[in-house]
Amino acid sequence: YQRRVHGGLKLISQGFPTVSQGNDFVTIEKASYLYDSIYEAIAADQSSKSSAEPIQNDKEAIPKIADTSLLKVESKLAQGGIHPLEVTAQFNPRHFIRRRIFSTESMHFNIYCMEPGQSNPLHKHSQSDEICYFVKGYGEMVVGEELVPVKTGDTVLVPKDVGHEIRNTGYGRMIVVLAQSPLPCAHEKVETVPKEVRVQL
């Protein structure tokens, strides 16, 4: 898989990625990421064609609290709990979905599911830290006044009282799991939109 930096898509071939010795081509890691992005784009296009309802980012329709229905599901473990991804992940064409997978005395563990173009509006938690792990998809995340690109496998720490927002700017679905601690974890809107400084990784 090869892509010219200034020329868009150059070549996609079957098999393992190969990389030119010059500076014109991306690394194997970025080439693999490009392949995943194209695969997601094709999957998203097929999904949109089969969906009767267009995808929206209706922030006013987002429920004020997380869906806690998973907390009522009987655990298959004598101690602890387990939920497969295909059960926890749910999507809505109107807005992103926030579900609580587990809850303890000191922590919430949630899953966020976003269709392309959807986002989790800018907010903060004045007394709680948050750690986000990106299970699937790519996009960008606002942390304070910085804007950072995120992709599958990335982990982001959001300290308490720092504004943050997750945006699915990719072509495919995004899944993020996150832990919030300590509790209670207040969900507070950030009224003043920060001047975003893009961070290059």
Q: Which amino acid is at 157?
A: L
- Which residue's entry shows tokens 């009987």? 74
Element (H, E) at 40: helix 28-50
pLDDT in tens, the chain (201 residues): 333 333 343 333 444 444 444 444 445 555 555 666 666 666 555 554 445 689 999 999 999 899 999 999 988 899 999 999 999 999 999 999 999 999 999 999 999 999 999 999 999 999 999 999 999 999 999 999 999 999 999 999 999 999 999 999 999 999 999 999 999 999 998 988 778 788 876
CB of 176 closer than 8 Å to CB of 112: yes
pTM: 0.77
Residue 145 is classified by DSSP as T
What DSSP letter does each residue of 44-95 carry, written as one string?
A: HHHHHHH-SS-----GGGS-SS-B-GGGGSPPSSSSS----HHHH----SSS
